[in-house]
Amino acid sequence: MYSLEDIRKEFPILGKEVHGKPLIYLDNAATTQKPLCVVEAINQAYYSANANVHRGVHYLSQLATEHHEEARRRVARFIGAPSPEGLIFTRGTTEAINLVAYSAGEAFFLSEGDEILISTMEHHSNIVPWQLLAARRGAKLKVIPLTPDGQLDMSAYRSLLSPRTRLVSVAHVSNVLGTVNPVEEVTHLAHEVGALVLIDGAQAVAHTRVNVEEIGADFYAFSAHKIYGPVGIGALWGRPEVLKQMPPYMGGGEMIEKVSFEKTTYNVLPFKFEAGTPDYVGSTAFSAALDFVERLGIEAIAHHEEELLAYATERLLSEFPESYILGTAPHKGGILSFGIGKIHPFDLGTLLDHMGVAIRTGHHCAEPLLHSYGYEAVARASFGLYNTREEVDYFFEALHRVVPMLL
């Protein structure tokens, strides 16, 4: 296990005070804080390697290109992709899913009544792009129900799959329930009926080792900012043989081979899906974040977060008998979504904030999921690699102060 004391020094923001109290940052599922090496990678890119990439013959452009393409190889390696060919930089998970919904939609949704399968636990960014596709192509959106503890109902999933299913898209880890889904099995079953599979890895990459080859899915989407990297960049990995059949998502520079007013031909993968100047600064910072995570070890991080989750879960249930938890699957990422009696989560979050504790409240961009449990909002504490047991203790001290005021 790494030294928490040393690691925390690499995150200057964790030393900040909020409302005169030390910050306790428990909103890591929304975004993670950034270590010095990531901020420094951004500085260095601007200080010493800033030029537009790919077409420049001059030294600086070639240097920036080298850094950007090295970052692509780094990100591909991190998720076990066999080559960087299928690794497309996007603005994040949301753009990655929209890219597939648009472009795979054009290529593979051929007749009215083709079906898309998602699950009840999806984030809005894994719902709305499919609704848009369904409206465009006359496709049907179907939804896999959950078991009461917040796992995919696999027998319902089996019966929803049919030869009409063109695509299945589910989260690897739920941002509300924390459930880790059996994505290999989901993929295997979908492939049996000839459907493509997209896995939304936004909440998974920072907490579990991802290997796209082992999962077997056709697409894997994630965001750098959830894994200690910069905001504004993420990745879509796609199986090259599938991506090659898909038309471009956006048109512009970089994604072309030749342009005339009569006809344009497209660049090879992955550039075909990267119109415009790419975020070559973000990509190098993304790569630095992955180096940082690898240095600590994803298994050590996962283990640490699981311990914090187990500790917080046990304390919540034993010290607040009127509390409830959304998502009680046996295998969870470090996410605790909860409520206490009739207290409105927003009030809880506001009072906790006054004590320096940052949690998230609301529907967490998963309104259908919350509604399926009969809630409009819940509170969510989510753990990152730098959180400590003492912080969890302070969180509970704060809860004991604020809960009696609100009950």
**Positions marked catalytic:** 365
Question: Measured from the CB atom, is 171 or 351 closer to ligand PMP?
Answer: 171
Q: Which residues contact 44 (CB under 8 A, 6 or more apart)?
A: 284
CB of 18 to ligand PMP, least distance (A): 22
Looking at the Cβ atoms of 230 and 356, the one nearer to ligand PMP is 230
Q: How far is the CB of 176 from ligand PMP (least distance, A)?
A: 8
User: Which one, 64 or 101, has the nearer CB to ligand PMP?
Assistant: 101
Q: Are 231 and 225 in contact (CB under 8 A)?
A: yes
How far is Cα 30 from Cα 202, in angstroms, rounded to an integer? 10
What's at 65, amino acid-wise? Answer: T
314, two tokens: 């046990």
**Do β-strands 323-326 and 357-358 pair in parallel, antiparallel, or remain unpaired?**
unpaired
Which residues have C-beta within 8 Å of that of residue 339, sequence separation ≥ 6? Answer: 323, 324, 326, 345, 375, 378, 379
Torsion-angle region of residue 252: left (phi > 0), alpha (psi -120 to 50) or beta? left
Pick between residue 120 and residue 125 the one whose CB is nearest to ligand PMP. 125
Least gap, CB of 123 to ligand PMP (angstroms): 4
Q: Which is nearer to ligand PMP, 190 or 235 (CB)?
A: 235
The residues of the shown chain that bind ligand PMP, judged by CB under 6 A, are: 92-94, 123, 125-126, 171, 175, 200, 202-203, 223, 234, 365
Could you give the CA distance from residue 362 to residue 354 in angstroms, rounded to a whole number? 18
Residue found by looking up tokens 């320096």 in the block: 356
Q: What is the smallest separation between the CB atom of 285 and ligand PMP, expressed in angstroms?
A: 15
**Length of the chain, in residues:** 407
Q: What's the gap between Cα 311 and its chain centre?
A: 24
Shortest separation between residue 223's beta carbon and ligand PMP, angstroms? 3
